[in-house]
Amino acid sequence: MLKYKNKIILAVTTAVFGILIFATALWTGNNGCGEESNVICTSNGKFEVEILENHARMLSQDGKTESIYMPGEEKKIFDYCISSITNTLDDKLLIITGDSDEYYGNELQVIGISPDGEICKELTKSMKDMNPHDINTSDVDGDGIFEISITMYKKTRFHPVMAERPYIYYWSEDSINPMWRGSRLSRPFSEYLFYDLDGDKREELIAIEYLENGSQLLNAYSWKGFGFESTAYSTAYDEITGLKKRVDKSGASRLLAQIDVDGKAEWIEVEHGEEGVLKLHGEK
């Protein structure tokens, strides 16, 4: 099934010969159009995007151009994001695709919009045996250009067991190139996202990690030019069930973690405290 983490579920689209009702996932992460998170922004205009498990639909905001993207016969979309990945403001649609009967994907497809408003496939990259399943973008080195983060489930030479691994790529000369393919983080993790904790225009990798006793903590990693280094972490909790970024009406961004408080799951703001410390709002 299409993974809906960090996405909004919408419904109901009309067709010429009736009403087609379906669930459509719209990405809510990095996007050149700011809060218009379901929109691809290009120099040729804005295009609304709808994603289903087996195709993507793009409609120009003036209603004059409609394009349909199909990942391929008996293939489906596992995850996707909308982001600029070059030094231009043109967004791309980045999609993890794979066989419809598998749990993980097996390739990356990068989709752009041509000058005449048509879908243009710019890259198909095989990731066979790497089991990609989550994709996002971030600016980890502060150069103003988003890198591509893909979560793989695989073995590595120096850690030959199946595990989740965050791989970072950058776009160059119409393809992706590896920026960091580390064996693993400090500990096994359940999920991660990117967020600028200290306001230096470089986004840290924030992961929910498992300790040996089964409890969890937040660990923040900063890019150091050759790899990621842990620079701050939280105290341990029985369970941290989620991470998300929220932008308020003023445009300010906040990082939230979902923690069990007195038997109830609550979203609590994560703050960058003293050097090397992540704390939840209200903690001393």
DSSP string, 104-134: S--EEEEEEE-TTS-EEEEEEEE-TTT---E
Residues in the chain: 284
Tell whether the torsion through CA atoms of 119, 120, 123 and 126 is positive or negative: positive
Which pLDDT score is estimated for 74?
Answer: 92
Is the pLDDT at 8 greater than 80? The verdict is no
Contact 9, 53 (CB under 8 A): no
Is the pLDDT at 11 greater than 60? The verdict is no
How far is the C-alpha of 142 from the C-alpha of 225, rounded, in Å?
11
How far is the C-alpha of 85 from the C-alpha of 93, rounded, in Å?
10
**Which residues 6+ apart lie within 8 Å of 242 measured at CB?**
191, 208, 257, 258, 267
Which pLDDT score is estimated for 30?
Answer: 46
The β-bridge relationship of strands 92-99 and 107-113 is antiparallel
| % of the chain beyond a pLDDT of 70 | 86
How far is the C-alpha of 260 from the C-alpha of 128, rounded, in Å?
38
CA-wise closest residue to 218 among 247, 184, 191 = 191
H or E element that contains 176: strand 175-180
Rama region for 239: left / alpha / beta (φ>0; ψ in -120 to 50; rest): beta
Is the pLDDT at 174 greater than 60? The verdict is yes
Is the pLDDT at 34 greater than 60? The verdict is no
| % of the chain beyond a pLDDT of 90 | 63
Sheet with strand 228-233: strands edge to edge:
189-195, 204-210, 216-223, 228-233
272: three-class secondary structure by DSSP: strand
Residue 7 token pair: 């996405």
- Tracing tokens 């990798």 back to the chain, one arrives at 205
How far is the C-alpha of 62 from the C-alpha of 47, rounded, in Å?
9
Is the pLDDT at 26 greater than 80? The verdict is no
**Which residues 6+ apart lie within 8 Å of 61 measured at CB?**
39, 45, 46, 47, 48
Is the pLDDT at 16 greater than 70? The verdict is no
